[in-house]
Chains A and B, each alone.
Chain A
Amino acid sequence: MNLKPLFEPKTMAVIGVSASNDRHPANVIYDKNNHRYPVKVYAVNPRGGSLHNETVYPRVAEIPAKIDLAVIATRAELVPDVMADCIAAGVKSATVISGGFSEGGRGDLQDRIVDMAREAGLPFIGPNCLGVYVPFRVDTFFLPIERMIKPEAGGVTFVSQSGGILVDHMIKFAQQGVGMAKAVSIGNKAFIREKELLAYLAHDPATKVIAYYIEGFGEGEGREFVQAADVCSKPVVIMKSGKTAAGNRAVSSHTASLAGDYASFAAAVAQHNIIEAVSENEMVSFCEVLSSYTRPIEGRIGIITGSGGHGAMAVDACSMAGLAVPEFSDQTKTDIKNQLTESVRAIASLGNPADLTGSAVDDDFVACARVLAASPEIDCVVVLLLPYIPGVSLDIGVRLSSVCRQSGKPFIAYVPHVEKYNMLIEGFELNGIPASSSIEGAVLMAKALARRQSC
């Protein structure tokens, strides 16, 4: 099944636009794509007429072009007829935005459109979903353009059963500077499910990390999915809801999905080299670091800090995350010491964490980072960077990332995220070092790299 027309459409029909209501989901989708994305958009409504001086076509078949993507946003009862039209007109893919299918007790309607699509080989997303967002390509989310927060284009593709969770993560990714390749809301996932998307995304050049929000799998579907993820060369991250009995109840009434026993889920996922994020915080941290670094680590962390307290907090967080913070050898300590500036040399404590103190300047951080980057004692460097230390300049991120790139060893930074420090943060992030806004977040990133090779 070819999903390319879904993600990279050149032509798109929006079916169900309203002549009178500009807030209708179909109208929102039509407006936000028309003349804004490199896709030719056609409005469809059986009554025809015009919308904002552009033609409204009564049926897909009457559009004077082959349609790559049909966005169906009519009432549920009308969807089978619309889909029949799309199939007859040779439409190549569809997303069914409309709700009112299995989640509303109309499993029969859903079965009908699945049967039609399967027979015709028409891949469709949904129903009861937002569809797809691909930066600079297409956006079928029925959220008004002025309300959307869009992260920068980047390596993470997020696939979600819940549209709300997806949009929330776009906001979090934007805040945290995590770039997205695609956002896919699959709703009732009647036809295209997690597994089909995995097969496509595994070969999608823009996608570096594949992230999922999952409520539950259908019968036997979890098994097929984890087995496919196990042989996928890209990191797969999953966040699951419905872990508790109470959560299970909430899920079954949400997208009419059967969430199974969480213990089995967690075990099966971990066994197949999928990284489970147990919180939104982990999800964002894991996605950020895995889009920067692909190689797994064993989890021996070297910590560089300008404050003893930060160092101690990081050591505790590492130990909670199952990461080692080995004491540096005497040789390593001497190597660091020899390269520090004279005033810092006398007061730094270099066990691990290497506490360079509040008197440290950029050169001290860089010198220490160079030694740790070359040392086989550790396989990941966490830098706790306090921008208010007087000797730290705005160049620190750029300078450390050059050390990182030369060594090939992953560096992770902690920098407090306030507007004042943005240029310093970007010095890290735009040069390939993920920067977390919390110590815990920085350690979670290291944990994700260590998990990657678990089995």
Chain B
Amino acid sequence: MLKKEVKAIFEKSRKWGWVLEPDAQKILSLYGFKTPKFGVAATEGEAVAAARKIGYPVVAKIVSPAVVHKSDVKGVVVGIKDDETLVRTLARLSKIDGFAGMLIAEMVKGLELIVGAKNDFQFGPMILLGMGGVGVEIYKDVSLRMAPLKTRDADHMIQELAARKLLTGYRGSEPVNLNALKKTIVAFSHLMMDMRDVVESVDLNPVMCTAKSCIVADARIMLKK
């Protein structure tokens, strides 16, 4: 059963066919996923206040029902260190089609993974794990399983990645917290089962994984037509 707040978000998002990022982040944090601290601002004053509350450096992202792929319209700016850059960024992003606000979020670092879901016609919710970031469709280093998943399945998915060595510590880099990653994958597979009637596909990309935790730094939830 979906939480009431989540149902309300889906209801409101139906007209766009997808869930805006601040709402998607809200759904994920409601279900216990780690997400970055964030605020949404439309004015300079709001933006500066939000950024100071979170603490520089921050990342700024366009919020617009017309923009599903933010990077494609240069709608993501990372590493903003001061008020001046933030205000300049707001001025530019506010000119993008459908501008509904600017999301200001804490900068998180880590190994970039993608955790995704697709509601397959034949098999229902399928869960994807792969090396994330913008190169995901180039390298196609991914593993797929049918939801819901058990910890063992998540383990197999990690083992299937060509880049698995990057997760377990490669050339002196710290290994990522595999338990946290497995928990994230398994919990996400259950969430996807709950949302299967309304959701077509989900990209949690990137999920930032470190030795400590896995944080969902961006989320895109596409709804069924």
Query: Which residues of A approach B to under 8 Å, CB–CB?
Result: 216-223, 226, 258, 260-261, 263-268, 271-272, 455
Contacts and interface: CB of A to CB of B under 8 A. Distances in A.
B120 A260 contact: yes
B153 A264 contact: no
21 contacts: A217-B122, A218-B122, A219-B121, A220-B122, A222-B123, A223-B124, A226-B146, A258-B121, A258-B122, A260-B121, A260-B122, A260-B123, A263-B144, A264-B123, A264-B144, A264-B146, A267-B143, A268-B120, A268-B123, A268-B145, A455-B156
Nearest to B124: A223
A221 B126 CA distance: 14
Contacts of B126: 264, 267-268
B121 A265 contact: no
Given A223-B146, A267-B145, 6 more contacts: A218-B122, A219-B121, A226-B123, A264-B120, A264-B123, A268-B120
Contacts of A217: 122-123
A223 B123 contact: yes
A221 B145 contact: no
Contacts of B145: 267-268, 271
B195 to A, nearest CB: 16
Contacts of B120: 222, 260-261, 264, 268
Nearest to B149: A271
A455 B160 CA distance: 13
B182 interface: no
Contacts of B121: 219, 258, 260
A260 B123 CA distance: 9
B153 to A, nearest CB: 7
Contact of A271 (B118, B122, B146): B146
Interface in B140-173: 143-146, 153, 156
A220 B146 CA distance: 12
B146 A265 contact: no
B122 A267 contact: no
A231 B195 CA distance: 26
Give the 10 A-B CB pairs with smallest separation, nearest first. A222-B122, A267-B144, A217-B122, A260-B122, A222-B123, A268-B146, A264-B120, A268-B123, A260-B121, A223-B124
Nearest to B126: A264
B122 A216 contact: yes
Interface in B94-122: 118, 120-122
* Most central of A218, A219, A271 by chain B CB within 10 Å: A271
B140 to A, nearest CB: 9
